[in-house]
Structure 1
Amino acid sequence: MSFSYRYLLNSFTFINASFRVNPEDAIKYSNRRYLINHERKCDEKDVLLLLFVKSSSENFERRRAIRSTWGNETYVERTLGVTIRVLFALGLHPEPAYRSKLKMQLFSEDQRYYDLIQQDFIDTFHNLTLKLLLQLGWKETYCRHAQFLMSADDDVFVHIHNLIHYLQGIGRSNSKDLWMGRVHRGSPPVRDKESKYYVSRDMYPWLAYPDYTPGSGYVLSRDVATRIYKASLTINPSFHIDDVFLGICAKVMDIAPKNHLFFSGEGKAPYHRCIYNQMMTSHGHVSDIREMWTRVTEAEVGQMPSGLIWRLYCTVMKVRLLCVPFISNTYPCKAAFF
């Protein structure tokens, strides 16, 4: 939700004073030991996009589905002519007994695919900021030359064709100062103690968060990723909501997010060709990633019709799909008219 008082009452000048820590304290959070790493993953390649997928160690099937669909590096290079690198960011399973069993399974998986990056923190909701620091730190250390960084959850479908075409267009003009996703403006902290998003007034006493993009999916240009990483080394990383922490770091560096209408909200995108034409991400895919991939690639191969009649038809269909109250929480109604 967007709240007008965010612009009236919150200047966010408090961030500099209230969230700053000395670099020695901040580095304790970000300088985690790698349990699985691939330091040369980006070597000797002109990488357009480094795509980090946040995954839990036990989500083997989700990772397999992503590798065989939108996260297939070979497919992207063959069909779109660009190099991307897809990695899965992992921590340690919270249950010690299960953790030891998963260790061998993860080793076997990584020996086959060479795409897991794991650090020694417990992988829980309250440690998602550590997983964000893993991604920022890894890019800065091992893949600094990648033009863009994307972070996505492993239940998100990325329309990789549309995303690559969009990023290529930006790269030909000006690929700086980009932070793109579904922007939350003026969101207030959740004070309900039963919610996993609960934040106490001691931790964050103010009325609203700085603008931020949900952690389900967003894109940073190379320069923005570097600046946010540097800011993260001066900000108290014990704040556990990772996407808000990203917003706080960005605010310190005076970076503002750009809203893209076809980055998903909480729901899945409607199954319709008129949606696929502009889709960037769709959220909430656990068992149907392959089905969605088949649908969008068939639409891609078949080439979307063009012309005035088709555009009018798609506008009508998108209004029906996106503008009915309480039916769709994927893209906003105004996306129907773009």
Structure 2
Amino acid sequence: MFVNMHRIRKCQVLQIMIMCFATSMIMVYWEQLDNKIVTHVKSNTYRYLLNSFKFINASFRISPEEAIKYSNHKYIINQERKCGTRDIMLLLFVKSSTENFGRRQAIRSTWGNEVYIERTLGVTVKVLFALGLHSEPQQRRKLQQQLFFEDHIYHDLIQQDFIDSFHNLTIKLLLQLGWKETYCRHAHFLMSADDDVFVHISNIIHYLQGIAHSNVKDLWIGRVHRGSPPDRDKESKYYVSRDMYPWFSYPDYTPGSGYVLSKDVATKIYQVSLTLNASLHIDDVFLGICAKMLGISPKDHVFFSGEGKAPHHRCIYNQMMTSHGHVRDIHELWKLATEHDVGQMSSGLFWRLYCTMVKVRLLCIPFSSISYPCMAAFLT
């Protein structure tokens, strides 16, 4: 009996020690747990059960006189005649930084080559690079002269006089929307992409041609984030304070790395943005707020990668729309993705079965890919 009581006491002490250790670990890591788990539970509950963002109207509305300060920036470099009166299928804005000349040059010689697009696909696409000012005054003067020279050669830079930083991305979004509304309103679609994104331009154009023929309205397409919570980690560049955005969930939105708007949506969002507080620096979330006010919802397309980088394989290239994180390999990917036989892979039962198995291996094994979802493996 003595032995049994002794063992019981040892077990109780061990349990207490384990509980104390677990409690201390939770206390130490609570902020991280809250950011990664609890906030997502709250956010998805808010989005899927309450599903109401009526608070936005009252919270973000400001007078037009106040709102204009976010979009009333002067042009340093502009291309007023870029669009002219031609029928333009797509106006494609690439968000770039002043020092990223190499990235712009790579895009010009691959998927952003307007001459290649018109000759190969038979449509007019206008590609422009959206820029602000370098944050360092000394560096700014040197880079500005280089930008003037670059624009003199290529005539594809749009620059305004705001500081080009992560916290001014919403201003850069307003630059794109405002420029389209003023100088290229007749373009059928507006696409925005980062300068480290690979855009499979032929797949995009073929997709948009199908949509244009059916005269679809209110189109906003990309990789949709649903029920995303604000990031409350003060060390994160995506940090948003509760004063700026006190609610548990953002409206649905598409990452700013790559998405497409129909011309009617681009106009509506620009107009409503002129009545809102654009100090929220996360541009894609701000776009979602504007769209929610208009009753416009984004449409998910599984082959827009969002922040993910697509696996390298010909069966992927055949349906790829965007892939994020390409700088040094952009020429290689362009060559691989535009090989003649890639476009022939979808024809024939053997190739369809083969590509389905390849995509299952690349996209459906947990943690093997963060680009396209598993369901993309079964789409042909």
TM bin, normalised by shorter chain, reads over 0.9
Q: Which amino acid aligns with 2:264?
A: D
Equivalence for 1:63 = 104
Paired with 1:300 and 1:85, the residues of 2 have a C-alpha distance of 27
Partner amino acid for 2:204?
A: L
Partner of 2:11: none
Render the CA deviation track for 1:213-254: whole Å, top value 9, x for unaligned. 000000000000000001100110011100000000001111
Change (3 A) 1:309 1:138: same
1:298-317: CA deviations, max 9, x gaps? Answer: 14576325222211111110
Q: One-letter code of the match for 2:325?
A: G
> 1:161 aligns to what?
202
Which residue matches 1:233? 274
1 CA distance for matches of 2:343 and 2:227? 41
1:32 alignment partner, one of 59, 64, 73: 73
- Residue 355 of structure 2: aligned partner: 314
Equivalent of 1:286, from 327, 342, 356? Answer: 327
Of residues 200, 218, 230, the one that matches 1:189 is 230
Provide the residue aligned with 1:124 in structure 2. Answer: 165
C-alpha distance in 2 between matches for 1:207 and 1:45 = 45
Of 219, 222, 246, 2:260 maps to 219
Deviation of 1:265 after TM superposition, in Å, equals 3.0
TM-score normalised to the size of structure 2?
A: 0.87
- Counterparts of 1:128 and 1:52, CA distance in 2: 13
- Partner Cα distance (1:314, 1:301) in 2: 11
Maintained 8 Å contact 1:265/1:329: no
The percentage of aligned residue pairs carrying the same residue is 77
CA distances 1:182-240 after superposition (whole Å, capped 9, x unpaired): 00001000000000000011111101000000000000000000000011001100111
Determine if contact 1:191/1:199 at 8 Å carries over to the other structure.
yes
Partner secondary structure for residue 191 of structure 2: strand
Quote the Cα distance in structure 2 between the aligned partners of 1:54 and 1:188.
25
In 2: Cα distance, 1:42 partner to 1:121 partner: 24
CA distance in 2, matches of 1:8, 1:305: 41
| Structure 1 residue runs without a partner (length 5+) | none
Alignment length (residue pairs): 338
Alignment-derived partner of residue 51 in structure 1? 92
Q: CA deviation at 1:175?
A: 3.3
Q: Given that residues 180 and 259 in structure 1 are in contact (C-alpha distance below 8 angstroms), is that contact kept between their aligned partners in structure 2?
A: yes
User: How far is the alpha carbon of 1:100 from its aligned partner?
Assistant: 0.2
Task: Output one character per residue of 1:274-295: Cα deviation in whole Å (capped at 9) or x when no partner.
Answer: 1011100000001111111000
Q: In the alignment, is the contact (CA less than 8 A) between 2:314 and 2:342 conserved in 1?
A: no
Tell me if structure 1 keeps the 8 A contact 2:318–2:346: no
Q: Does the CA contact (< 8 Å) of 1:273 and 1:299 recur in 2?
A: no
Shift of 1:153: 0.1
Q: 2:245 aligns with which of 204, 227, 241?
A: 204
Matches within 5 A, 1:89-108: 89-108=130-149
Q: Secondary structure at the match of 1:228?
A: helix
- Of 224, 243, 260 in structure 1, the residue corresponding to residue 301 of structure 2 is 260
- SS in structure 1 at match of 2:190: strand
Question: Using the alignment, how far apart are the partners of 1:170 and 1:261 within structure 2?
Answer: 17
Asked which structure has the greater CA Rg, the reply is 2
> How has the CA–CA distance of structure 1 residues 270 and 158 changed in structure 2, closer, same or farther, with 3 Å as cutoff?
same
Distance 2:228 2:342 in 1: 40
Residue 134 to residue 178, structure 1, CA distance change in 2 (3 Å) = same
Q: In 2, Cα distance between the equivalents of 1:233 and 1:299?
A: 46
Q: Distance in 2 between matches of 1:254 and 1:305?
A: 36
Give the secondary-structure state (helix, strand or coil) at the position aligned to 1:89.
Answer: strand
1:271 counterpart = 2:312: yes
RMSD across aligned positions (CA): 1.2
Check the 8 A contact 1:147/1:175 in 2, yes or no: no
Q: By how many angstroms is 1:324 displaced? A: 1.2
Aligned mates of 2:193, 2:47 — CA distance in 1:
27
Larger helix proportion of the pair:
2
User: 1:22, 1:75 → 2: CA distance?
Assistant: 45
Correspondence for 2:154: 113
- How far off its partner does 1:159 sit? 0.3
Amino acid at match of 1:127: N
Aligned partner of 1:83 in structure 2 is 124
More moved, 148-157 vs 10-19: 10-19
CA contact (8 A) 1:15 1:248 kept: yes
- Does 1:176 find its partner at 2:214? no
Displacement of 1:4? 4.5
For 2:119, the aligned partner's letter is R
Q: 1:20-60 CA deviation, whole Å, 9 max, x = no partner?
A: 01111111110100000010100021000000000000000
After the TM superposition, which parts of structure 1 deviate over 4 Å for at least 4 consecutive aligned residues? 299-302
Deviation readout 1:99-151 (Å, 9 max, x if unpaired): 00001100010000000000000000000000000000000000000000000
